[in-house]
Structure 1
Amino acid sequence: MQVLQVVNQRNGLKAAEVAAETGIPRPTVYRLLETLEGLGFVGRDHSSDKWRPTLQTKSLSSGFRDEDWVSQSAVPEMVRLGREILWPLDLVIFNDHRMEIRESTHNISPYSIDHGMVGLMLPVLETAGGRAYLAFSQEEESAQTIRGLLAKERQTHPVMLSDGPLEYVLEQSRKLGVGFRREGYRLATQSISAPIFRDTRVIACLTIIWTGSALSFDSAVERYRDKLVATARRISLALEQV
């Protein structure tokens, strides 16, 4: 139970980290984790090599959140799509006026130039995931979020982004069916992001990132947009079952 407790408290750890936290020898930790996996209490995230508590464990806790459901439902779909397209994917959620990377396939992508992305906090307005969150959230929720962001950053309307005025970027995102980033944040890369819904609320966004010098924006949209949207839709449907 000590191993399960520390994995649950930290929302996922590598076996070596569990051993360091508990003082239990690493070979014993591996055996205990495999036993807990067989019982359905933990699962191994192969993109980060971390052992994470499953829904069965988290549902026993009063601290269970919707974001925990989406992480568990998204990882298998992210790995499947990541192995097909090879470019990395990030699962991001809105958290305290930033977009937090909750899951990532950077570690298994041969094209990734970044690693250790889980937990990174990204700007909302200058990322594809943040723009997808704003574009596809319900109108009042989106407007309230934008007001909070502008107040925090002491900005006023009109808001100019690297890809154009904010309202233009959000409208173009709705037309494309995905949030997008051509310019600005992380200049070497571009990205598109599809919303994941629970009921009518955007609970997370799934983002594909590629190197701009290797693939044009229009080519990437043509190749990957429909696959990305379909994957996000499957995750949304999976959330209806839990």
Structure 2
Amino acid sequence: MDTTSKTRSLERAIDVLEHLAARGPSALHHLQDETGLSKTTLRRLLETLVRRRLVRRGLSDGAYRCNITLPSPGDKTHQGKIARLIDVATPLLRASNSDIRWPIDLHIYHQGRMQVIESTRTISPFGFNRPHRPELDLNIFAAASGISYLSTLPDERVWKMIETLREQELWALSRYRITPQRLFREIALTREKGFARRLASQSDGGFHAIAAPVRSHRTGIGAVSLWWPQTYLALPVFADRHAEQLKALAAAISRELG
């Protein structure tokens, strides 16, 4: 390949990276529409970018995502954390899928809420045809992942978060009629057992969920959650079967993060 062709390929690859950084998760046909490149060219560029770990492909939706932080008006620090967490967690999620089998979601904390950033729903035999919605936000006080994350914080920080979010209708503790007393009981139980249960359903009605905290350098940053139909098994029975596996997965991700 001559210098001109190499330069053209580099510029096209940068165009793809900039699109993904600005627009977020994109399917191949969306990239074709936005960049004007052929599918053959895009596939070649994306294969190289994925191999060099500059781009990742979602387990749950097959969409492409930028795996590095580029100059943009977005929150670069948070996007960098997402990229690092998914990069570390994805092979561990794949491996756990063969053992646990039930859908596992990967969450990260951001601005008083939990975000679902990856999932094994589409590769789980029990995915229930419920595709993962990228960067889905959840109320931190109701989600199992949120309570799991809160269990890594000192109580005074939890109280501060309650106060900060009090006037935000969607994210307040009162959204699901959860009292501070109940919340702190759940946090204490989570610290004791190493996993949390959801207090209210937000996106998956009719399902139970449990979650274990994920840490980076001993600081909580998110959680992994496991969910199943309420009609299948009661929460205590399901937790007896799978909580230790979920905790082991969270611990493995935490070790890889450092």
TM above 0.5, yes or no, is: yes
Indicate whether 1:120 and 2:136 are aligned. Answer: yes
Q: Which amino acid aligns with 1:239?
A: L
Q: Is the 8 A contact 1:128 1:207 kept in 2?
A: yes
Match of 1:17 among 30, 44, 50: 30
Q: Tell whether the 8 Å contact from 1:99 to 1:124 is kept in structure 2 after alignment.
A: yes
Displacement of 1:187: 4.2
Contact in 1 for aligned 2:143/2:199 (Cα 8 Å): no
Structure 2 letter corresponding to 1:161: I
| CA gap 1:135/1:202 in 2 versus in 1, 3 angstroms | same
Q: Which amino acid aligns with 1:214?
A: Y
Amino acid at match of 2:65: R
Q: Deviations over 1:218-240 (max 9, x none)?
A: 12111111111111111111111
Q: TM-score, normalised by structure 2?
A: 0.80
Number of positions where the alignment pairs a residue of Structure 1 with one of Structure 2: 235
Q: Distance in 2 between matches of 1:191 and 1:40?
A: 31
After superposition, the CA RMSD in angstroms is 2.6
Task: Point out the more displaced range, 108-117 or 147-156.
Answer: 147-156
Could you tell me the TM-score, scaled by structure 1's length? Answer: 0.85
3-state SS in 2 of match to 1:168: helix
User: 1:168: Cα distance to partner?
Assistant: 1.4
CA apart distance, 1:9: 3.1
Q: Choose the corresponding residue for 2:104, options 89, 94, 97.
A: 89
Give the letter for the 2:242 counterpart.
Y
Per the alignment, residue 150 of structure 2 pairs with 134
Match runs of 1:1-242 below 5 Å:
1-54=14-67, 57-58=68-69, 63-64=76-77, 65-113=80-128, 114-153=130-169, 161=178, 165-181=182-198, 184-185=201-202, 186-240=204-258
Separation in structure 1 between the aligned mates of residue 173 and residue 234 of structure 2, nearest angstrom? 32
In structure 1, what residue type is equivalent to 2:61? S
Unaligned runs of at least 5 residues, structure 1: none
Instruction: Calculate percent identity across the aligned residue pairs.
Output: 26
1:67 to 1:142, Cα distance in 2 relative to 1, 3 A: farther
Structure 2, unpaired ranges of 5+: 1-13
Amino acid at match of 1:21: E
What displacement does 1:85 show? 1.8
CA deviation after TM superposition for structure 1 residue 156, in Å: 8.3
Task: Tell me, in whole angstroms, the C-alpha distance in 2 between the residues paired with 1:41 and 1:98.
Answer: 27
Classify the secondary structure of the residue corresponding to 2:166: helix
**Local SS of the residue matching 1:31:** helix
Q: 1:106–1:117: 8 Å Cα contact kept in structure 2?
A: no
After superposition, the Cα gap between the structure-2 partners of 1:156 and 1:88, relative to the gap in structure 1 and judged at 3 Å, is closer
* 89-98 vs 219-228, which moves further: 89-98
SS for the counterpart of 1:99 is strand
For 1:45-95, what per-residue CA distance to the aligned partner results, in whole angstroms no more than 9, with x for missing partners?
3332122333xx43x669243233112211221222123222111111222
Question: What secondary structure sits across from 1:2 in the alignment?
Answer: helix
1:40 deviates by 3.6
Which of the pair has more CA radius of gyration?
A: 2
Q: Displacement of 1:193 after TM fit?
A: 0.6
Deviations 1:199-227 (A, max 9, x none): 23211111001111112211211111111
Secondary structure of the equivalent of 1:47? coil
Output one character per residue of 1:73-119: Cα deviation in whole Å (capped at 9) or x when no partner. Answer: 11221222123222111111222332211111112222223213322
Tell me if the contact between 1:92 and 1:205 (Cα under 8 Å) persists in the aligned partners. yes
Question: Which one is further off, 195-204 or 61-70?
Answer: 61-70
Which residue identity does 2:238 align to in structure 1?
A
1:172-206 CA-to-partner distances (Å, cap 9, x unmatched) read 22222111126654441111111111123211111
Amino acid at match of 1:152: Q
Matches of 2:63 and 2:236 in 1, distance apart? 35
CA contact (8 A) 1:12 1:52 kept: yes
Residues 6-15 or 82-91, more deviating: 6-15
